[in-house]
Structure formats: structure tokens, C-alpha cells
């Protein structure tokens, strides 16, 4: 146990090293998500997409059998990720088994992969574990991923963590990429928080008031 702890280190997300992978956030598959409140889950997914825009992260999107009941990419994501590479899989359950998807990930040139999708225990876990095996550092965003039930998502997270995947929330991803309020020169981070965490706006207002005093 001491040896294992000695090997552990704080691998911070970096906006210069990270890429976002959006896996099967499709309108049909969205109906399978029962471990989260639908509107909260949708907001979390949109927040993650907005994070990619704020920090200019490369994004790779993949869908599975769009022409079937899985349906197209969620409309809110289509609006936000207009420039993202989209890989449309025709059969592979594990996105990492699709050569075009792996090629797109490699093309980003990034070694930190922020991953979210539907479902957590299948499409997310399979791809995350495969990416980890391929030498990437993998960060799974639990609140922007969904499963059929809470037990499924918990079991998947345990499995991934044991393998070396790092679980995070979208809020933690945004904060770790930002690191310092003073770097928010364009106000993108502040806008992100105000839009997706309504109560957080009070903190932002307090911060702005303090700046004016100074």
C-alpha cells in the first residue's frame, strides 16, 4: 500500500495538454440515463462543452448508429460543438475499436483526455480503459456521464479508478483548467460559472465588488 501511495501524484489538468472526448451523448441514448435528474444532467453536459470553448480544447465527438434508435447528437451539443471532429460509428461499442476515432484522438496531440458519455458503465468505461492502456491520462467526468441506474455508474467508476482513471466533476475540470481567477482576462470562466451554477453568481458579484473597491 505504501508503494502504491508513493507512485500517486497530482496530475493537474492543463489547457495545453487536455482534449475533450464526447461519447454517445445522443438524443435516444439520453433516455437511458436514470442515475441523474434529466435537466441537471443536460446542463452538466452543456457546461462541459462550454468549458472546451472557454479553454480552446480540441474536441472529438463520436456517436453510435445515429440512424437508429440511438438518435443524433443532443441538439444543445450540436449548437456548441460546431467545429468538433465527429466520428460516426456504425457498430463498435467501444469507441477505441474504431480506427477513425483513435486517429482523431491522436491528431489532437494531447495526452490528457477528459471523457464523458452515455453510458458510464459501457461506452465511457470501455473507451476510458482502452485509452489508459494506450498511454493516455484519463479523466472521466461523472456528472456529465449517465447510466441506467446509480449502481451501474458507481460500479463503473470503481472499475475505472482501480485501473488508474481519475474521476472528476465538470466544475472541478473547469476550476483545475482555470487555476487562477486573475487569468480570466476575457471573463469566459466567470460567464461559465454564472450560466451553469446560478448560485455561484453571488460569489462572482462579491468578487467584482471587491475589485471595484481595490
pLDDT tens figures, 98-121: 999 999 999 999 999 999 999 999
Same domain, yes or no: 25 and 93: yes
Do 126 and 213 have their domain in common? no
**Active-site residue set:** 123
Which domain range does residue 29 map to?
16-179
Report how many domains make up the chain: 2
Whole-model pTM above 0.85?
yes
Residues 126 and 50 in one domain: yes
SS (H, E, C) 167-195: EECHHHHHHHHHCCHHHCCCCHHHHHHHH
Is 1 a member of any domain? Answer: no
* Same domain, yes or no: 84 and 101: yes
- DSSP conformation class of 147: -
Residue 9 maps to a domain: no
- 46 belongs to a structural domain: yes
Distance CA 115, CA 138 (A): 7
94 and 186 in a single domain? The answer is: no
Residues 31, 92 within the same domain: yes
Query: Each residue of 69-84: pLDDT tens digit?
Result: 999 999 999 999 998 9
Amino acid at each position: 500500500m505504501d508503494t502504491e501511495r508513493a507512485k500517486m501524484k497530482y496530475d493537474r489538468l492543463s489547457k495545453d495538454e487536455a482534449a475533450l472526448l464526447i461519447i454517445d451523448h445522443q438524443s435516444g441514448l439520453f433516455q437511458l440515463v436514470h442515475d441523474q435528474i434529466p435537466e441537471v444532467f443536460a446542463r452538466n453536459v452543456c457546461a462541459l462543452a462550454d468549458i472546451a470553448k472557454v479553454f480552446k480544447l480540441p474536441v472529438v465527438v463520436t456517436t453510435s448508429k445515429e440512424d437508429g434508435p440511438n438518435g443524433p447528437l443532443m441538439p444543445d451539443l450540436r449548437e456548441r460543438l460546431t467545429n468538433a471532429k465527429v466520428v460516426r460509428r456504425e457498430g463498435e461499442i467501444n469507441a477505441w475499436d474504431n480506427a477513425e476515432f483513435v486517429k482523431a484522438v491522436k491528431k489532437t496531440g494531447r495526452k490528457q483526455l477528459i471523457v464523458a458519455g452515455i453510458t458510464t458503465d459501457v461506452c465511457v468505461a470501455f473507451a476510458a480503459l482502452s485509452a489508459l492502456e494506450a498511454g493516455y491520462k484519463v479523466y472521466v467526468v461523472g456528472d456529465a456521464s449517465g447510466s441506467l441506474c446509480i449502481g451501474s455508474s458507481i460500479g463503473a467508476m470503481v472499475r475505472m479508478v482501480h485501473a488508474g482513471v481519475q474521476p472528476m466533476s465538470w466544475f472541478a475540470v473547469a476550476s483545475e483548467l482555470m487555476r487562477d481567477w486573475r487569468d480570466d482576462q476575457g471573463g469566459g470562466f466567470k460567464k461559465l460559472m454564472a450560466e451553469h451554477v446560478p448560485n455561484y453568481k453571488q460569489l462572482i458579484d462579491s468578487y467584482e465588488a471587491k475589485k471595484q473597491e481595490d
